[in-house]
Amino acid sequence: MRRCASALAVLGVALATLVASSPGAGVAAPAPPSGALLESLSQPPTRAAIASQRIYFVMTDRYRNGDSSNDTGGLGGGPSTNGFDPADIGYFHGGDLKGLTGDCTNTRTGLARLKDLGFTGIWVTPPVGQQAVQGDSAAYHGYWGLNFDRVDAHLGTDQEFGDFVDCAHRLGMKVYMDVVVNHTANVIGLSPGGSFVEPSQKPYRDCKGKKFNPASFVKKTFPCLKTSNMPYIPFLAANEKNLKSPAWMNDMTNYHNRGDIDFNSCSQICFEMGDFFGLDDFFTEKPVVMQGLADVFAEWIRRYKLDGFRVDTAKHVNAAFFRLWAPKILAAARNAGVPDFEIFGEVTLNEAIELSSFVRDRGLPNVLDFPFQDVAAGYAAGPTSAQALADRIMDDDYFHYSPQLAPTPVTFLGNHDMGHAAFQLKQHGASDELLLKRLLLGYDVLYLLRGAPAVYYGDEVGMIGTGGDKEARQDMFPTQVEEWKTQERVGSSPIGDGSSFDVTDNPIELRLKELGALKDAHPALSSGATIIRESQGNVLVVSRIDWVAKREYVVAFNSSTSAGTAQVSIKTSTPSSSWTGLGGTGETASSGADGKLSFAVNPIETSIYVADSQIPSAALATPALKVAKDKFSTLWLASATVSGNAPVSVAFAIKRKPSTDWELLAADDSPPFRAFLDKGKFAKKQKVYLVAIARSLSGQTATSNVVGLVPRPK
């Protein structure tokens, strides 16, 4: 869905109509907040610690082999049993935790290399014990878990995982562990088995044969289950009855047992209860399963002081799961001394508003930004407009998990499923001759816009690949896969029999180091508020605002190949100032008394400027609040406009009858200023009141009129 941001900013019905149509019209609206409450509510939003992170996403098995004695995982037999075949792209290749860790000092290998490249965090594929082989492939990727309470022997030992985390922490790096809460390896057989069977065809029945809806029992004593009453009858081979750990995972009634997802025709309940490519699907509605998954992963936090989880297949668990599971994980992290623990989930949706429901409604704290990936790769490749990229940034308002926290999704250009960043840009139309230049622009976009950038391993040495999944999981160490030896790379030659660790002059690697150093020197480029100044054709210009230092940065991207530079002229919030160039076409620029700043941006390049003067204080206008049904969702939209060109934040406060207290609905420091209400979270005919509070850089506040609303009139 593509839309005009300006239309969103002014959507609304007249306030008089809104109030007049509400029950209780004519009753005086409550007074807006004042005094200490006003000061508290009006604070600008904060950003999670992950906003300052630059994450390296690595598949441990494909990074570096530090101990060949664990290549077969202690299993006998050949590849079909132990899963090790370094010449087959679908099997273990020997990479392990020792190799990934290195000696913690050598910047040519291991974690010290990643630190030297400017990364501040590392996300590793699931390290848990795996079913080594399924069908014609092995579990080198980590998503076929059997033993969720220990490290897979192909990767090393529990002690070596602890050493890996300790080294990362000594280097000042965060560790994000990939976790799976949707499924285990494929162990359970189903009789008669087959495609997903809907609950309308075969409902769940308790031990007495009574039908029930699992969603009604997520917080209650769950009905007794027996295998003979399941939709398909589950069974295990005699030698597999105690294969999984913890022990509760061996209870076959802790799985949905409804058959395989048909991705061509599948309902939402099918996505949530079906077996993902045959993998045993957890019955996540059961409190014992939800608690078991909380307990086992909380223990990883307790033992290793992890900094966050990336949650695999988050789209495939029931709607209530994250509202119950995530608070338990966050509490375990706080108890372990990790107060800024991050949870970001994989929800493979390219429509931002649809994706936002997983944060806003389902309680998933954060997400991988698939919609951003789609438009950022398309923009860097050329065909996608700057407006599409601007629209995605403005849609952040839909993603509030916590009222005071500005959304900071994890952003990326490529990954282990869809392929390397270079491959993605080629898919979006980037030509071979311009691929390197466009890829460098893509990383500028990734690093300099809001979000926590994640770079897929191998991208930094120019890997392109020929597809996603297995085709995108090349070895960093010398490979035995013949076709990978001759594959084209961007910015460097095919690797042949060499090691990617010896590729030290790839322009991508150098650009990533430069961008990391730039963000370290100028934190506002990581956590500053975003103001979109221009989004015309191929040119996107944003200001990033440092609220504490009262400093403005301007970042301009140009994805056009047109001859000559793009001439940019925008109105900033910093008038009569000189500006220092941090990269691009010029070293200095100047803004006029009206704040207008003019400069040039080369084709397929980025220009960055920082104002030498602080943003001056300015009179704060009264915000104008409008409330209406959102045009693009089933939500109510509260939007506020504040005249003037100075940066402001807007806090939306709500009072819900019969309560007499004002509480924060959302805080926003990036225009358009918006907050959303879900009518389903209010009682029928419940009256609420809304107010918008603007706050300036100097701490001035101004309050809108109070607006009454009945979100759910019937």
How high is the pLDDT of residue 660? 84
The verdict on 335 and 447 lying in the same domain is: yes
* Rounded Cα gap, residues 28 and 14, in angstroms: 18
Q: Residue 25: which CATH number?
A: 2.60.40.10
Residue 580 lies in a domain: yes
The active-site residue, picked from 346, 369, 374, 668, is: 346
What residue ranges in 657-699 does DSSP mark as E strands? Answer: 662-668, 673-677, 688-696
* Rounded Cα gap, residues 162 and 306, in angstroms: 10
Has residue 15 got a pLDDT over 90?
no
Q: Residue 556: which CATH number?
A: 2.60.40.1180
Rounded to two decimals, the pTM is: 0.95
User: Which DSSP string corresponds to 29-63?
Assistant: PPPPP-HHHHHHHTPPPEE-GGGG--EEEE-GGGT
How high is the pLDDT of residue 22? 39
Q: What's the pLDDT tens digit per position in 387-438?
A: 999 999 999 999 999 999 999 999 999 999 999 999 999 999 999 999 999 9
What residue ranges in 145-290 does DSSP mark as E strands? Answer: 145-151, 174-180, 189-191, 204-205, 211-212, 233-235
Q: Residue 311: CB partners within 8 Å, gap ≥ 6?
A: 179, 180, 181, 343, 344, 345, 346, 364
How high is the pLDDT of residue 27? 65
Q: What's the pLDDT tens digit per position in 298-342?
A: 999 999 999 999 999 999 999 999 999 999 999 999 999 999 999
135: how many CB neighbours lie within 10 A of its CB?
Answer: 9
* Rounded Cα gap, residues 329 and 321, in angstroms: 12
Residue 383 lies in a domain: yes
Number of residues in the chain = 714
Of 588, 611, 634, the residue that ends a domain is 611
The verdict on 297 and 417 lying in the same domain is: yes
Q: Which of 371, 381, 472, 374 is nearest to 428 (CA)?
A: 381
Per-residue pLDDT, averaged over 102-108, amounts to 97
Residue 142 lies in a domain: yes
Number of domains in the chain: 4
* Rounded Cα gap, residues 167 and 91, in angstroms: 28
The verdict on 415 and 498 lying in the same domain is: yes
Has residue 487 got a pLDDT over 80?
yes
DSSP structural state of residue 623: P
State both tokens at 169. Answer: 């922490």
Of 278, 306, 340, the residue that ends a domain is 278
Helical spans, DSSP H, in 361-506: 370-381, 386-394, 421-427, 435-448, 482-485
How high is the pLDDT of residue 674? 98
Has residue 11 got a pLDDT over 80?
no
The verdict on 493 and 546 lying in the same domain is: no
Q: Which of 647, 552, 544, 557 is nearest to 591 (CA)?
A: 552
Residue 41 lies in a domain: no
Q: Note if 280 is an active site residue.
A: no
Three-class secondary structure of residue 168 per DSSP:
helix
The active-site residue, picked from 152, 160, 312, 669, is: 312
Has residue 503 got a pLDDT over 70?
yes
Domain of 556 in residue numbering reads as 528-611
State both tokens at 573. Answer: 């919030």
Residue 45 lies in a domain: no
The verdict on 242 and 269 lying in the same domain is: yes
Has residue 1 got a pLDDT over 80?
no
User: b/e per residue, 278-313, with b = 16+ CB within 10 A?
Assistant: bbbbbbbbbeebbebbbebbbebbeebbbbbbbbbb
User: Which DSSP string corresponds to 264-332?
Assistant: TS--HHHHHHSBGGGPPBB-TTSHHHHHHHHHHHHHHHHHH---EEEEETGGGS-TTHHHHHHHHHHHH
Q: Which of 88, 3, 678 is nearest to 395 (CA)?
A: 3
Has residue 14 got a pLDDT over 70?
no
Cβ-contact 386, 536 below 8 angstroms: yes
Q: Residue 452: which CATH number?
A: 3.20.20.80
The verdict on 604 and 661 lying in the same domain is: no
The verdict on 449 and 333 lying in the same domain is: yes
How high is the pLDDT of residue 26? 52
* Rounded Cα gap, residues 145 and 703, in angstroms: 54
Per-residue pLDDT, averaged over 659-683, amounts to 96
* Rounded Cα gap, residues 571 and 564, in angstroms: 23
How high is the pLDDT of residue 584? 74
The verdict on 68 and 165 lying in the same domain is: yes
pLDDT band at 659 (very low <50, low <70, confident <90, very high): confident
The verdict on 220 and 177 lying in the same domain is: no
Has residue 509 got a pLDDT over 70?
yes
State both tokens at 404. Answer: 């005071």
Q: What's the pLDDT tens digit per position in 45-95?
A: 999 999 999 999 999 999 999 999 999 999 999 999 999 999 999 999 999
Cβ-contact 260, 274 below 8 angstroms: yes
Can you tell me which residue has the tokens 């080629």? 426
Q: Which helix (H) or strand (E) holds 115?
A: helix 110-116
The verdict on 584 and 705 lying in the same domain is: no
Of 582, 611, 640, the residue that ends a domain is 611
